Amino acid sequence: MSGFGLRTLKKKSDNENKEKKRTYVKHLVFGENLASVLTFQKLYEQHPADVKMLTRNPYSTADIHHDLKCSMQPIRSEEVANKLIGMYPQLEIFKKNEDVYFYKDTKFHKFGGRAKSHDLKEEEKFYQEPFYNYRPENLIHLTDEVFEQFQLNKIINSIDLQAPTDLLEKTNFRLTTGDDEIIDCEYLYFCETPKRFFSMITKKNDVPDSIAEYIAPLVNYRAITVYFECSGEVYEPASSMIIPQSMTHEWGSFVLDFEEYDASTNTQNIKALSFIDEDIMQEEELAKKIRHMQKVIERVIPEFGKVEVSQTIKYSEEFYTDGINDELAPKLGEFPVKFIGTAAPIQMENSKDFQYLPRTLASLESLNI
């Protein structure tokens, strides 16, 4: 017994003394979303030998198309549209839809008219403005072969701030994986919310005051989006609609973005959004919410219930972030972590109008590489 115990202790000691597997990447892109793809693409074009994209799961062009399907129309300001046309002409921004409708007393009404809508949650008010059409797929031009070759699929447990000592492999950040491996990098491009970055830092007192100040007021909102593909025309005109989830309870709204009816394929598609309360967490509860969404749409748009419908679903824990203070953007730019995405700080006039993809693109445009 004693010999067995000594061998066991020796084996444990040997394992503890083994050096952890270490990977060094100069430019490390953290995230599993469109912001991380666009950031990686920009870095890859300039530093192909020095960049990796870090994701929890393999992320391919199919995942990108899925996420684009399930993204609501994000361009709802003339100023934002004009800015993006100048920065990203490949988006082909066109045709502003003139009206947004709400449903009340069995009728549709235009926002801005005589009728008053039901009370909207603060995070729903963005969708009162008409949207511009655009082609987000034109932003992506890398192949799955590139994504696979330059992607690290790891779960990260913690991030440590480092004082660089090696001039050849300058390290500002050390990330530790669930497999107890180490990934060191000089520059970290964090494409999820800054709150998630802060939560992963082991020694939070090491974080600069400007970052802590920026993160403190941020509030993340969860949401579920559904892309309905309908085998027939269900609604005209192509526009946005906000309908109450309940006529008797304050459950919030369903936001619907209708695409143009395509006569050549006899199809019309709808993007639908519901913000999710904290108490709705289980898969069955989310499925129940989607079924309720379909019933409400059928009630206000009877044609929806008369056609075949397929659906694509996306659940997002960080769909929208409130409390952003863009005045801190210059200070945050001095730190080697770069925030890119829907919760990133940007330096733009009327920056509050830049939400979702426009904010992601504005933060990416300001990235000096």
Is the full-model pTM beyond 0.85?
yes
Does the pLDDT at position 9 exceed 90?
Answer: no
Number of other CB atoms surrounding residue 226 within 10 Å: 23
Which tops the pLDDT comparison, 278 or 226? Answer: 226
**Percent of the chain clearing pLDDT 90 (strictly above):** 82
Domain match, 28 and 112 both: no
Alpha helices in 201-356 (DSSP H): 209-215, 283-300, 329-332
Q: Give the domain CATH number at 336.
A: 3.50.50.60
CA gap 229, 190 in Å, rounded? 33
- Indicate if 49 and 143 belong to the same structural domain: yes
Domain of 200?
A: 21-66+139-217+324-365
Mark whether 272 and 147 lie in a shared domain. Answer: no
Average pLDDT over residues 138-162: 96
d(CA 157, CA 212): 20
pLDDT value at residue 10: 45
pLDDT-based confidence at residue 335 (cuts at 50, 70, 90):
confident
Q: Which residue has the tokens 């941020």?
A: 218
Looking at the fold, whether 100 and 143 belong to one and the same domain comes out as no
Residues 231 and 150 in one domain: no
- Length in residues, the chain: 369
Task: Report the C-alpha gap between 240 and 133 in whole angstroms.
Answer: 12
In a domain, 1, yes or no: no
The rounded mean pLDDT for the chain is 92
Instruction: Give 18's pLDDT tier (boundaries 50, 70, 90).
Output: low
HSE value, Cβ hemisphere, 13 Å, CA-based, for 191: 25
pLDDT at residue 13, rounded to an integer: 43
**pLDDT above 50 (res 14):** no
Q: How far apart are CA 88 and CA 82, in angstroms?
A: 10
121 and 253, same domain (yes or no):
yes
pLDDT in tens, 51-64: 999 999 999 999 99
What CA dihedral angle connects 324, 42, 156 and 322, to 10 degrees?
10
Q: Amino acid identity of 368?
A: N
- Strand 151-153, strand 156-161: pairing: unpaired
- In this predicted structure, what is the pLDDT of residue 1? 46
Query: Which residues make Cβ contacts (< 8 Å) with residue 209, sequence separation at least 6?
Result: none
Q: How many domains does the chain have?
A: 2
Residue 177 in this model has a pLDDT that exceeds 90:
yes
315 or 279: which leads in pLDDT:
315
User: Which of these three, 322, 341, 357, is where a domain ends?
Assistant: 322
Segment 330-343 mean pLDDT: 92
pLDDT in tens, 266-314: 999 999 999 998 777 788 899 999 999 999 999 999 999 999 999 999 9
Task: Evaluate if residue 11 carries a pLDDT over 90.
Answer: no
Tens of pLDDT, residues 80-125: 999 999 999 999 998 777 789 999 888 999 998 888 999 999 999 9
Please state the φ and ψ torsions of residue 66, each to the nearest 5 degrees. Answer: -60, -45
With b for 16 or more beta-carbon neighbours within 10 A and e for fewer, the 36-46 pattern comes to bbbbbbbbbee
Same-domain pairing of 168 and 289: no
Same domain, 310 and 228: yes
Same domain, 42 and 53: yes
Asked if the model's pLDDT at residue 243 lies above 70, the reply is yes
- pLDDT higher than threshold 90 for residue 35: yes
Rg from Cα positions in the chain: 24
Could you tell me if 177 and 224 lie in one domain?
Answer: no
How many Å apart are CA 228 and CA 69, to the nearest integer?
9
In this predicted structure, the answer to whether residue 208 has a pLDDT above a threshold of 60 is yes
Let me know whether 176 and 279 are in one domain: no
CA–CA separation, 143 and 146 (whole Å): 5
What DSSP line would sit under 156-214, residue for residue? EEEEEE-----SSS--SEEEEETTS-EEEEEEEEE-S-HHHHHHHBS-GGGS-HHHHHH
When pLDDT is averaged across residues 324-342 and rounded to a whole number, the result is 92
367 pLDDT more than 70? yes
Q: How much is the average pLDDT of 213-221?
A: 96
